[in-house]
A and B are shown apart, each in its own frame.
Chain A
């Protein structure tokens, strides 16, 4: 009898200890996550808040966490006066749209060919393409630069789009997805008189929409942020894209950080918003296309 009571007490104590451990583990986990959050978000916050501060506020010591007036848009106005940011923005948008549209188109067609069409050397060709992914971008820059100079496209927006109208990586992701579709789907459509072209656009592409959205978003992100390449092929002020424009702006305004932060906010915000809205989509698409194959 007393043995039983003792056992029960021991069990209760063990349970309590276990629960306590769980709670502690959870607290620790959230502490770490919070720390990560602060490290990730604080620079963004600092940039945005600084964009609304006056020059005097910027020089305060200790620095203030928030601007005195969140509606102080002077920095934006001055930044836009000092450099053609609107034009940069337009350039960035044009380049992004051009390269995203072209990449989506070539990727869809290539993925279809590599997954559905039968031709001699298909697998070999695809392996070759994949092996090209090993070549670092920095190496391609030299040949790309020569090509652009030779066809006389330097210092135009075309120079920013042309090298980025296809992507092996996205083709790979999409091909894997296409390959996961059952053959029956294709043959059902074919016996109904559906051509390859129609099947691709009416069946495969709609089904692959999640993967496609991911590809387009990732591509847009890369295009928006690209810096090295514009720096090389763009000379005139009016052809600059946002990151490049921002870079030259830095040298112009020097220590006027509030102006710099205002300009940076304009550059970064669209992509941050895009990413926030499409985060799930991006992660899901990469996981689906990439891991399965």
Chain B
């Protein structure tokens, strides 16, 4: 089912949680709502589920306007960070509960619950109580419970945050697999960019209640719409250099400069920020106009590559350099730039120029 939000806005008193949020999510996809804490992603989710009424704007499920529909009529499944299983019921009882409410006959209830339990690999533990399960198992049950009534939309609110690192990886793949098998349109809220990058078809990145970019994970990484998107994605974080345009070159306060073909098109004196991903540097022989003259500060071995910390124009930068280059602290080197992963943003607005 396609989900369309038009000008969705939510104010809690003076707090503007979500502002003029317009996005269309394709049917059958797994979409991540990504952003730092307090960016309004959970509020968007709660408006989709109907838990939180909207201040302004519209929500459409396919062509149906559900903006003012009560939660129980929206046909959604919810999974929470703390699993929210009914502690006094068994796994079976938890999964059948939504069907019981909908007055599905007991035999069908059990059959469907078993099917769901098998889907999430919990078929053998139907008689257990939630407290006898691990966090990952509890989350599996919560997913089964959310899916058992065949929702049009599955909403997951930071479902992996309570799990330890290893389980998180495992459950991440599980959620992807379950989504692929059921093909239910799924919205997944997280603040973990790696999580979002690894499982989603599309990512909706938010900041301060505003939509920043809606794109496939690779596109988000390779073509960030603005400074915030470039900063938020990637580990190590993208390298930023403050400077301005002078004579078709990027010039920093201490005179360090680099000239790339596109720079000439920009206004003279324009204050800009050059952003380069750590993997977008190449070690070059000798100086040139399109190379950064840097000093090596330290080098960390990371297997086939090294992570080098260098200084360019007084600003530290991190770069991946092949190990065989044998960099040593104190070396003066020249770094060329690849085509991919090099951006130029406005210093003040964060708008992207290149």
* Chain A interface residues (CB < 8 Å from chain B): 182, 184-185, 187-194, 198, 202-203, 206-207, 209
* Complex contact A188–B72 (CB within 8 A): no
* Complex contact A193–B101 (CB within 8 A): yes
Closest B residue to A206 using CB positions: B88
Please name all residues of chain A whose beta carbon is closer than 8 Å to the beta carbon of B78 when the two chains form the complex: 184, 187-188, 191
> With A and B bound together, what is the CA distance between A194 and B71 in angstroms?
10
Q: Which of A182, A190, A206, A209 contacts B72 (CB 8 A)?
A: A190
Please name all residues of chain A whose beta carbon is closer than 8 Å to the beta carbon of B76 when the two chains form the complex: 191
Ranked 10 nearest A-B pairs via Cβ: A184-B84, A184-B80, A192-B98, A193-B72, A206-B88, A191-B71, A185-B84, A193-B101, A188-B84, A194-B101
* Complex contact A188–B82 (CB within 8 A): no
Closest A residue to B103 using CB positions: A193
Interface SS majority for chain A: helix
The answer to whether the Cβ of B269 comes within 8 Å of any Cβ in the partner chain is: no
Please name all residues of chain A whose beta carbon is closer than 8 Å to the beta carbon of B81 when the two chains form the complex: 184
A265 CB, min distance to chain B CBs, angstroms: 39
Please name all residues of chain B whose beta carbon is closer than 8 Å to the beta carbon of A185 when the two chains form the complex: 84, 86
Please name all residues of chain A whose beta carbon is closer than 8 Å to the beta carbon of B51 when the two chains form the complex: 187, 190-191
* Complex contact B87–A207 (CB within 8 A): yes
> With A and B bound together, what is the CA distance between A192 and B142 in angstroms?
13
> With A and B bound together, what is the CA distance between A203 and B98 in angstroms?
12
B205 CB, min distance to chain A CBs, angstroms: 25
* Complex contact B74–A188 (CB within 8 A): no
> With A and B bound together, what is the CA distance between A174 and B180 in angstroms?
44
A43 CB, min distance to chain B CBs, angstroms: 41
* Complex contact A187–B71 (CB within 8 A): yes
* Complex contact A191–B80 (CB within 8 A): no
Q: Which of A182, A189, A191, A206 contacts B50 (CB 8 A)?
A: A191
The answer to whether the Cβ of B97 comes within 8 Å of any Cβ in the partner chain is: yes
Closest B residue to A194 using CB positions: B101
Please name all residues of chain B whose beta carbon is closer than 8 Å to the beta carbon of A206 when the two chains form the complex: 88
Contacts A182-B84, A184-B80, A209-B88 known; list 9 others, CB within 8 Å: A184-B81, A184-B84, A185-B84, A187-B49, A188-B84, A189-B97, A191-B77, A193-B101, A193-B102
> With A and B bound together, what is the CA distance between A206 and B49 in angstroms?
26
Contact pattern, B 122-155, Cβ under 8 Å of A = 1, otherwise 0: 0000000000000000000010011001000000
> With A and B bound together, what is the CA distance between A194 and B78 in angstroms?
14
CB proximity to A under 8 Å, residues B42-98: 49-51, 71-72, 74, 76-78, 80-84, 86-88, 97-98
B241 CB, min distance to chain A CBs, angstroms: 45
> With A and B bound together, what is the CA distance between A194 and B86 in angstroms?
13
* Complex contact A182–B80 (CB within 8 A): yes
Q: Which of A184, A192, A207, A209 contacts B97 (CB 8 A)?
A: A192
Closest A residue to B73 using CB positions: A193
Chain B interface residue count, CB cutoff 8 Å, equals 25
* Complex contact B101–A192 (CB within 8 A): yes
* Complex contact A191–B88 (CB within 8 A): no
> With A and B bound together, what is the CA distance between A182 and B81 in angstroms?
11
* Complex contact B82–A182 (CB within 8 A): yes
A194 CB, min distance to chain B CBs, angstroms: 5
Please name all residues of chain B whose beta carbon is closer than 8 Å to the beta carbon of A190 when the two chains form the complex: 51, 71-72
* Complex contact B72–A192 (CB within 8 A): yes
Please name all residues of chain A whose beta carbon is closer than 8 Å to the beta carbon of B74 when the two chains form the complex: 191
Q: Which of A182, A187, A198 contacts B101 (CB 8 A)?
A: A198
Known: A187-B49, A187-B71. A192 touches B84 (CB 8 A): no
Closest B residue to A205 using CB positions: B88
> With A and B bound together, what is the CA distance between A193 and B69 in angstroms?
12
Closest A residue to B71 using CB positions: A191
> With A and B bound together, what is the CA distance between A184 and B87 in angstroms?
13
Please name all residues of chain A whose beta carbon is closer than 8 Å to the beta carbon of B50 when the two chains form the complex: 191
Q: Can you identify 13 A-B contacts, CB atoms within 8 angstroms?
A: A184-B78, A184-B81, A185-B84, A185-B86, A187-B49, A187-B71, A187-B84, A191-B50, A191-B51, A191-B71, A193-B101, A194-B101, A207-B88
B49 CB, min distance to chain A CBs, angstroms: 6
> With A and B bound together, what is the CA distance between A192 and B102 in angstroms?
8
> With A and B bound together, what is the CA distance between A192 and B95 in angstroms?
11
B129 CB, min distance to chain A CBs, angstroms: 12
A107 CB, min distance to chain B CBs, angstroms: 19
> With A and B bound together, what is the CA distance between A141 and B51 in angstroms?
46
Known: A192-B97, A192-B102. A184 touches B82 (CB 8 A): yes
Q: Which of B82, B87, B149 contacts A192 (CB 8 A)?
A: B149
Closest A residue to B151 using CB positions: A191
* Complex contact B86–A207 (CB within 8 A): yes
> With A and B bound together, what is the CA distance between A187 and B102 in angstroms?
16
> With A and B bound together, what is the CA distance between A189 and B98 in angstroms?
7
> With A and B bound together, what is the CA distance between A189 and B49 in angstroms?
12
> With A and B bound together, what is the CA distance between A202 and B100 in angstroms?
11
Contact pattern, B 145-173, Cβ under 8 Å of A = 1, otherwise 0: 11001000000000000000000000000
A180 CB, min distance to chain B CBs, angstroms: 12
Q: Which of B72, B83, B87 contacts A191 (CB 8 A)?
A: B72
> With A and B bound together, what is the CA distance between A209 and B86 in angstroms?
13
Closest B residue to A209 using CB positions: B88
> With A and B bound together, what is the CA distance between A84 and B285 in angstroms?
112
B91 CB, min distance to chain A CBs, angstroms: 15
> With A and B bound together, what is the CA distance between A209 and B88 in angstroms?
10
* Complex contact B71–A188 (CB within 8 A): no
Closest B residue to A199 using CB positions: B101
Please name all residues of chain B whose beta carbon is closer than 8 Å to the beta carbon of A193 when the two chains form the complex: 72, 98, 101-102
Please name all residues of chain A whose beta carbon is closer than 8 Å to the beta carbon of B77 when the two chains form the complex: 191
User: Which of B49, B74, B97 has the most chain A CB atoms inside 10 A of its CB?
Assistant: B97
A203 CB, min distance to chain B CBs, angstroms: 6
Closest A residue to B76 using CB positions: A191
A271 CB, min distance to chain B CBs, angstroms: 29
Closest A residue to B49 using CB positions: A191
Please name all residues of chain B whose beta carbon is closer than 8 Å to the beta carbon of A192 when the two chains form the complex: 72, 97-98, 101-102, 149
